[in-house]
Amino acid sequence: MKGEKLLENLYLICKETEKSCNIYAIGKTETILIDCGIPETMEAVTKNLASLHLPFPSYIFITHCHFDHSLAAPDFKEKGSKIVAHYKTAEALEKDTYKIWPENLPAVKAVKVDIKTRDNCLLNLSGYEVRLIHTPGHTAGASCFLAEISGRKCLFTGDLFLPSGKIGWKGSIDFSLEEFGKSLRKIREIDFDILLPGHGDILDKEKGSKCLEIAIENLKNPL
């Protein structure tokens, strides 16, 4: 599969596979990835970037520590990318690596996070302003990223909820239903044009808002 252009300077660079999440690329002369998937999808990511004349990622923003979003981070870092994450996600990536993939510990490598952020931090990197919004629940460090790209407000939500309206998986070691509810209500207040989830289809404002409401309803019934 080739990378799919979503907007000028925004791409679904690798669609989710059975073991890897949706990977998005922002950029033109420099590239930012939102999540980086697993080592097996790294080749597809780099090939798709090259075919779009986008350079190797300068920065990898990680929405949360789960392996399908972060396992390739050490490999990208080895080739020069800098890793950006909420400080609680950084703790998991750097030392509490059992949180990344508890069922397959030998596959997990620790990675040093270059930029550790907090809630509402505005990152100005590679010519883009990206706001981190801490949305714990699915994991303690789970975060959304908000960036204006080609005049559209793009909200990257990781595993906050699935486009079916189901809320992200509850099996995580640091899952918290209470925090999840707060995070969904916090994101409901965010003005966005496009919602880009870690799994499933990209949603416009209307569909995204509807799914968010369904997810809030589904809090009583997590996956």
Q: Which strands, in side-by-side order, build the sheet including 143-149?
A: 122-125, 128-134, 143-149, 152-158, 194-197, 203-204
In the chain, DSSP finds a helix count (H) and a strand count (E) of 6, 13
CB of 159 to Zn ion, least distance (A): 4
Residue 159 as a binder of Zn ion (CB under 5 A): the answer is yes
- Rounded to whole angstroms, the Cα distance separating 172 from 124 reads 31
Instruction: State how beta strands 122-125 and 115-117 pair.
Output: unpaired
CB of 151 to Zn ion, least distance (A): 30
Residues 6+ apart with CB under 8 A from 205: 192, 193, 194, 195
Stretch that binds Zn ion, among 62-70, 91-99, 100-108, 200-208 (CB under 5 A): 62-70
CB of 63 to Zn ion, least distance (A): 8
Instruction: State how beta strands 31-34 and 4-7 pair.
Output: unpaired
- Rounded to whole angstroms, the Cα distance separating 185 from 182 reads 5
Our CB check for Zn ion shows the closer of 66 and 134 to be 66
Residue 35 as a binder of Zn ion (CB under 5 A): the answer is no
Residue 66 as a binder of Zn ion (CB under 5 A): the answer is yes
Residue 86 as a binder of Zn ion (CB under 5 A): the answer is no
Our CB check for Zn ion shows the closer of 66 and 131 to be 66
Our CB check for Zn ion shows the closer of 159 and 179 to be 159
Our CB check for Zn ion shows the closer of 35 and 131 to be 35
Our CB check for Zn ion shows the closer of 159 and 174 to be 159
Ranked by CB distance to Zn ion, the top (closest) residue is: 66
- Rounded to whole angstroms, the Cα distance separating 118 from 104 reads 29
Binding residues for Zn ion (CB under 5 A): 66, 159
